[in-house]
């Protein structure tokens, strides 16, 4: 009986150790990526490509760069911030939200888009025509592509003429929905949107002259939140993946310029 009692104690001890080790196992890896709306389609491909060769799950939170910046400053548990410009991630870095300076991953292209596939005179100057009643664009206060649209209209000398026609979306995603649904006659959006599988072939679009607006340099930062947790390694791996040759090939397919 004494032998059996000792054996039972050993079994119980082993079970306790096993349960303890199980409780200390590494949690499921999930990297939360704050994603500017213009990048959401390319990010879906990047996510699938990265997850295919990794045991890390990528979760995207999509909004305008300005709104994402506000959420980050308020303590949102994001790990990587993929912005539509360099200014917002620079602000995050300046205020201690990241230990690294912003790093440009691509340069975006502004386009004019309409559902009217027969439109023959689609240009910034044509927006002043009486036949165009509503022009969609992203809010320039929170979305870099909206700021670029204002610059393009000012350069053409029509901004004051068309101000009453402007319909603002809080992000490129919302702006594109206004155009795709016909709620706006025409609008400014990112080339990555019109080249996406969801929107490709719908209506007609043209590039806006790149000399009419400041280059849309888009940068990302690894946020301090990820560095203070078990997610440090997978977060850094995904961040570095954004600058890989495989990622660059995907960005190019969506109309981005990359070095």
Number of domains in the chain: 2
- Identify the pLDDT of residue 225: 67
> How many angstroms separate the CA atoms of 17 and 20, rounded?
5
Say yes or no: 82 and 134 in one domain: no
Q: Is 50:241 a contact under the CB 8 Å cutoff?
A: yes
22 within domain boundaries: no
> How many angstroms separate the CA atoms of 118 and 204, rounded?
8
- For the stretch 122-146, pLDDT in tens is 999 999 999 999 999 999 999 999 9
Say yes or no: 152 and 80 in one domain: no
> How many angstroms separate the CA atoms of 174 and 148, rounded?
17
The answer on pLDDT for 191 being more than 60 is yes
13 within domain boundaries: no
Percent of all residues in the chain with a pLDDT value above 70, rounded to a whole number: 87
Mean pLDDT of 170-186: 95
Say yes or no: 186 and 117 in one domain: yes
Say yes or no: 98 and 121 in one domain: no
Say yes or no: 203 and 113 in one domain: yes
Say yes or no: 226 and 201 in one domain: no
Tokens 């917002």 correspond to 88
Say yes or no: 34 and 95 in one domain: yes
- For the stretch 150-159, pLDDT in tens is 999 999 999 9
- Two tokens at 8? 């039972």
Say yes or no: 125 and 199 in one domain: yes
Choice between 105 and 8, residue whose per-residue pLDDT is larger: 105
20 within domain boundaries: no
- Identify the pLDDT of residue 95: 93
**Which domain covers residue 42, as residue numbers?**
30-107+216-253
- Identify the pLDDT of residue 27: 53
- For the stretch 71-91, pLDDT in tens is 999 999 999 999 999 999 999
Residues near 12 by Cβ (< 8 Å), separated by ≥ 6? none
The answer on pLDDT for 23 being more than 90 is no
Nearest to 214 by CA among 122, 137, 144: 144
The CATH number of the domain holding residue 188 is 3.40.190.10
- For the stretch 34-70, pLDDT in tens is 999 999 999 999 999 999 989 899 999 999 999 999 9
- Among 92-96, 169-173, 194-198, 227-231, the range scoring the smallest mean pLDDT is 227-231
**Cα–Cα distance list, 75 to 27, 54, 66, 78, 96 (Å):** 21, 27, 15, 8, 12
Per-residue confidence at 11, pLDDT binned at 50, 70, 90? very low
- Identify the pLDDT of residue 259: 85
- Identify the pLDDT of residue 21: 39
11 within domain boundaries: no
Say yes or no: 164 and 78 in one domain: no
Per-residue confidence at 231, pLDDT binned at 50, 70, 90? confident
Mean pLDDT of 25-38: 81
Say yes or no: 92 and 220 in one domain: yes
Say yes or no: 57 and 67 in one domain: yes
Say yes or no: 93 and 220 in one domain: yes
- Identify the pLDDT of residue 227: 59
Mean pLDDT of 196-201: 93
136 within domain boundaries: yes
Per-residue confidence at 117, pLDDT binned at 50, 70, 90? confident
């Amino acid at each position: 009986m004494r032998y059996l009692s000792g054996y039972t104690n050993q079994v119980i001890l082993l079970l306790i150790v096993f349960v303890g080790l199980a409780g200390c196992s590494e949690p499921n890896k999930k990297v939360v990526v704050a994603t500017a709306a213009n990048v959401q389609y390319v990010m879906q491909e990047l996510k699938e490509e990265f997850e295919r060769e990794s045991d890390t799950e990528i979760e995207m939170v999509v909004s305008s760069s300005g709104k994402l910046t506000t959420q980050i400053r308020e303590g949102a548990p994001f790990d990587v911030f993929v912005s539509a410009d360099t200014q917002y991630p620079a602000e995050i870095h300046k205020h201690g939200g990241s230990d690294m300076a912003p790093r440009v991953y691509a340069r975006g292209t502004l386009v004019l888009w309409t559902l009217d596939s027969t439109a023959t005179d689609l240009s910034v100057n044509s927006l002043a025509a009486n036949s165009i009643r509503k022009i969609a664009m992203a809010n320039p206060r929170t979305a870099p592509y909206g700021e670029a649209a204002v610059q393009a209209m000012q350069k053409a000398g029509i901004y004051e003429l068309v101000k009453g026609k402007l319909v603002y979306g809080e992000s490129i995603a919302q702006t594109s929905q206004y155009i795709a649904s016909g709620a706006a006659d025409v609008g400014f959006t990112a080339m990555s949107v019109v080249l996406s599988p969801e929107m490709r072939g719908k209506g007609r679009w043209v590039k806006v002259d790149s000399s009419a607006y400041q280059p849309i340099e888009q940068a990302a930062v690894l946020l301090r939140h990820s560095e203070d947790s078990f997610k440090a390694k997978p977060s850094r791996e995904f961040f570095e993946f954004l600058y890989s040759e495989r990622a660059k090939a995907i960005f190019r397919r969506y109309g981005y310029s990359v070095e």
